[in-house]
A and B are shown apart, each in its own frame.
Chain A
């Protein structure tokens, strides 16, 4: 640990921490553009200049260093005993001296000379570092009278637009493509004040390589200004009108930490949230843009039941009564309850409790999205398993005595001989493979709980409208054993209900004793009853998640 005098504070920081991070840990902001903790440090924006103090032998005193230093590249380390300043400090640095303030103001002035100042029509306004720092550290007027550069707006790829005029050439996006994505689509063209970010183009200007890697959306997040803009979010909302909730991406089993930004009428965008061991600062575009089904107009809003071969809307009491009639007629062995790798641990726990205690069947299944492709990047992996909670669902469903969790062939073999199947899907737009379709078609009475009409719901006799990850509280367990919270953001559409509530209602209808009021209560039950989950209460999990003992 190095003892550092930071302004008036005396702080201890780990060796190897840079000044920006050390200051951030103690609530002091060192403004910066090019520095990003997940990328290399070119120190080209010059915004994070700070004033180190050094021992000056001729004066025999500690004086400000002649040159200001960049906070991002200046690393704090324990000094040898004879090099301590004031007898004890390893480093003395000021982030608020008049010199530093003046330097910041000057750099901001340079950054703004060619900036179009089009904040009123800029998507970044409200979460823009250039705005924030100008407000805090900048001058209130411009001295620039000359003609501004107006480089063109560019379409870089499927989801990314570049407003070159707003660019401060911090090169975060270039470094991201080089270092994290490893695809290197972006580069600088021209020189000096005509520097522009661009993709490779032919002499005629037609793109040779689009910015279309699966991590491309991250460049929008890391752009400190409004230069890189997501087409998906373009002109949709002002950032300050949106509510934010910490959650977890449901796109695959990595379990990237995300922030869901939403208004009453739907989810607007997903942004990655830092988690050191899971996704660092990033998320993939499949996850980022995969939220659209939540807002879909096709969402199942009412329970459906099959009347004369047609699925007809009905009300909850009716749908549950129909199910109750069917379930009470069959033997326990003829019922298969299938949980979902798309559903939360809480949903699956209530479901297995329903199967084990009420229906007294131990034959459970696990259903979810089909596997996709695994994509490996130098610093990121998109997993093949497209379900957020396969590991959790498997453990939870099999947690009660004698429960057997069937998957794939074994499951469909079991299903094809069953009379009643209660299938919790929650997998949007899930296509069915032939074997699955044949098995489900042979079922006498198929109950499907899902969020969107799909091939699965087409085969159902009763469809119960469930909820997506954005509409409920709960926990997901990712492939590496991290249990993490998802949070309710918007209300479910129509009469759709949270999945565990539906199951609990059904259990009550069948005379079961279950009385959970909220997801946290179920998590406590899980902690008590499921091996390995002893600490996994919502309170313990918090925003950081907890890792299960292997």
Chain B
């Protein structure tokens, strides 16, 4: 049985930890004091780089690397704390904000010291009214105690924190959408490059970090890099020669919800498997696991064949999914995948910001197709066509078999792939919202195709037994995509007229 390892959440349940005095009793701000007393700013940046800390917001981009992109000679430079936690299935940041806001402030101070930043904006999700109240109170207290403002603790360091509530848009959690919203504009992501590290808030270099990432900083500084890198696996990236280390260090706040007995936020080392995680969360509620969403609703789904996948950034990327924000949703055998997809697609169609064409009109289209299938109006064609797969010669191609055409499923896949192609990982959209839409759409459909086919065939939602509903990995187009040679990947969905291929 795996034990929780509470670091960020260690003192979460201490009464009044949200007040300065209690926080101080539990080593509060000592790590920051250590940072300014013992280290130069560059040392902190190096420690963060060495710690292998990856951004916890969703993309899993190396924090140290991100900091290294910030030009040193352009001032002012800003820190933007992304507390717009709105990915369905994710609810870890709000506990930090509501219960232990001083930890976030300490993380912000360390980041500001390392990067020479004097102004920080905390962009809080508009619905987190309590979180904002607590954070504001903590900021006020920190100002009073001299941990914020001008000349902090006599070191000449100036840091101001402003909290800014969002207005309830999912897309404002995307870093450039957040910046636009913060500047008072319509929350629509920017074209990249330039990335925020070069041109962010008010066109100045900006570090955008998630709450959880910033909360890791006090512990890295306080306990040292060596202590930190012991947690979580470090893989070897064999794409480069010689292989480079690919660290997945530290703990992660996993938000486990769905069909488990004790849903909630669990702080665990990175690199645990799905099965272990379900155990930690009190075991499965129901007979068997049908599916697991590993990283918030936009992550591709995992089937029961993939429950031994390790839940860390690298392993999930290799499994063609992502850890994202760590919002894990477990589904048991009673769940209908078509219905789940419909629920998710409704969310994305509603939350598309409407800036760029494919997403603006593609997401409602995908939702409508799923809606039609769920309503029992899905189209089925009785024509058969050559079935593609791994042929006798071991190459990808015509297998010599034929298969029935479910027109709407092909359409669904094609439309989703036209927003963002999940196989080649290319998107026609401005931001990654496009891939956040097509990832679930295509992965649910490919991995649980029998259930979709049944809905079309029967004219109503049919929940199949887990074994029947899931496509085994060896027959699954989605899995096979992983091993397609590059020359084919380049051609996939790209050559000639896709419509002809698909219909």
Contact = CB atoms under 8 A, between A and B. Distances in A.
A67 interface: yes
Interface string B218-240: 00000000000000000000011
A98 interface: yes
B375 to A, nearest CB: 12
A110 B429 contact: no
Nearest to A195: B354
Interface in B342-369: 349-358, 360-365, 368-369
A252 to B, nearest CB: 35
Contact of B357 (A45, A105, A194): A45
Given A42-B191, A44-B355, A102 B365 contact: no
> Helix, strand, loop or mixed for chain A's interface?
loop
B426 A66 contact: yes
B426 A67 contact: yes
A143 B239 contact: no
A144 B365 contact: yes
B314 interface: no
26 contacts: A44-B356, A45-B356, A46-B358, A46-B428, A64-B490, A66-B425, A67-B426, A68-B426, A99-B494, A102-B494, A106-B358, A107-B357, A110-B358, A110-B361, A110-B362, A111-B357, A113-B365, A114-B361, A143-B414, A146-B365, A169-B354, A169-B360, A190-B354, A191-B354, A193-B349, A193-B363
A295 interface: no
Contact of B239 (A58, A113, A139): A58
Contacts of B425: 66
A193 B360 contact: yes
A287 to B, nearest CB: 33
Nearest to B171: A191
A168 interface: yes
Contact of A192 (B239, B353, B372, B494): B353
A457 B229 CA distance: 95
A192 B352 contact: yes
B496 interface: yes
B40 interface: no
For chain A, give the interface size range: 35 or more
B354 to A, nearest CB: 4
B69 to A, nearest CB: 19
A49 B428 CA distance: 8
A192 B354 contact: yes
A47 B358 CA distance: 10
Interface string B394-435: 000000000000000001001100100000111111100000
Given A46-B357, A67-B426, A113-B365, 14 more contacts: A42-B355, A44-B357, A46-B428, A49-B428, A66-B426, A98-B494, A107-B428, A110-B361, A145-B372, A188-B354, A192-B351, A192-B352, A193-B354, A193-B361
Contacts of B361: 110-111, 113-114, 193
Nearest to B434: A46
A143 B191 contact: no
A73 B192 CA distance: 10
A98 B424 CA distance: 15
A56 to B, nearest CB: 11
Interface string A369-402: 0000000000000000000000000000000000
B250 to A, nearest CB: 29
Interface in A19-74: 42-47, 49, 58, 64, 66-68, 70, 73
A499 interface: no
B426 to A, nearest CB: 5
Contacts of B498: 102, 105-106
Interface string B308-319: 000000000000
B414 to A, nearest CB: 8
Contacts, number: 104
B145 interface: no
B186 interface: yes
A318 to B, nearest CB: 67
A381 B302 CA distance: 62
B495 interface: yes
A114 B493 CA distance: 24
A454 to B, nearest CB: 50
Contacts of A215: none
A103 interface: yes
A98 B496 contact: yes
Contacts of B499: 139, 143
A191 B352 contact: yes
Nearest to B418: A106
B292 to A, nearest CB: 29
Contacts of A102: 493-494, 498
B239 A73 contact: no
Given A64-B490, A98-B496, A192 B428 contact: no
Contacts of A98: 494-496
Nearest to A141: B499
Nearest to A65: B426
A49 B429 CA distance: 10
A473 interface: no
A67 B363 CA distance: 20
A347 interface: no
A44 B358 contact: no
Interface string A77-115: 000000000000000000000110011011101110110
A47 B191 contact: no
A64 B426 CA distance: 12
Contacts of B351: 192
A43 B430 contact: yes
Contacts of A110: 357-358, 360-362, 365, 418
B356 A46 contact: yes
Contacts of B426: 66-68
A99 B499 CA distance: 14
A109 B418 contact: yes
B418 A192 contact: no
Closest 5 CB pairs of A and B: A146-B368, A106-B418, A192-B352, A195-B354, A192-B354
Contacts of A191: 169, 352-354
B490 to A, nearest CB: 7
Given A98-B495, A103-B428, A193 B352 contact: yes
